[in-house]
Structure 1
Amino acid sequence: MTAADFADIPGTVLFDAQQSRKGYALNQFCMSLMQSANRERFRADEPAYLAEWPMTPEQREAVLARDMNRCLALGGNVYFLVKIAATDGISVQEMVGGMTGMSEADYRAMMLRGGRPIEGNRYLHEWSGRKGSV
């Protein structure tokens, strides 16, 4: 399967070899946040710390805006991106809830009910006339 095979699935970014290459520097930056000294440096001056990484301007902007959906589109891997959330003191549930436009409480409640219902969420072409995204 290719990324094109997943293009009609709402909220899906296929993390394949191409995305991995595209997001390599972004994901390496995220992994650097596993060390407390790096977290402190990042919190002290985010733009300066990000400038040390060979990321694209779009990747840096997405990190600074904490736009995790954009980070995914730019090659970020969610397992690495959670390092940013942890550095900010944000739980994984709060981060992914925000990525879906939900509060942490609403996201948790939805997941406890079994997750997002499949009806109407299988394919983007089912969303005819529907506003919003995943």
Structure 2
Amino acid sequence: MAIKKDYEDIPGTFVFDADRGREGYHLNQFCISLRLQKNRDAFNADEEGYLDAYPMTPEQRDAVLKREWNRLLELGGNIYYTSKLAANDGINFQDLAGIMTGMGREAYRDMMLNGGRSPEGNRYQSEWDEKETD
């Protein structure tokens, strides 16, 4: 049984720690393979067939095929590796962040240029839960 970690309560965040790294090992190996053009070509030609070489969980495989970016992180993906999949799809890192936050590119860019999100109301999942019930 995994030990509960304080940082698991950060809303909208999946901290990439040793446990998540072990969980996402094969997912991340797939993603980093896309750094090579020959692998991108093979993946683009037959996504499901290419994924057969990586013993991911069914959930990880499904998240790759559906391009569920946040789910990939939840399932052990490292943002720097999963961004290789996004780049393969023509999505740059800034656009990916906009997609993952639900803000869109320009709003995300403006937020970051203005100092990022305020920690107020964003420290604990319970703060987000209270917003949803209001």
Letter in 2 for 1:6: Y
Q: In structure 2, what residue type is equivalent to 1:98?
A: I
Instruction: Give unpaired runs (5+ residues) of structure 1.
Output: none
SS at structure 2 position matched to 1:7: helix
In structure 2, the residue matched to 1:125 is 126
**Cα deviation digits, residues 1-56 of structure 1 (max 9, x gap):** x6521122112212121111110000000110010000011111111111221111
The letter of the residue matching 1:48 is: G
- One-letter code aligned to 1:99: M
Q: Deviations over 1:76-125 (max 9, x none)?
A: 00011110011111110111111111111111111111111221111112
Unaligned runs of 5+ in 2: none
Closer, same or farther in 2 for the Cα pair 1:24/1:130, shift >3 Å? same
Q: How many residues align?
A: 130
Inter-CA distance 3–43: structure 2 relative to 1 (3 Å threshold): farther
Contact 2:11 2:128 in 1 (8 A): no
- Counterpart in the other structure of 2:57: 56
The DSSP-based 3-state class of the residue aligned with 1:42 is helix
Query: Aligned residues: percent identity?
Result: 56
Amino acid at match of 1:9: I
Alignment of 1:1-134 (within 5 A): 4-131=5-132
Distance in structure 2 (CA, Å) of the matches to 1:36 and 1:93: 22
Letter in 2 for 1:47: E
The RMSD of aligned alpha carbons is: 1.3
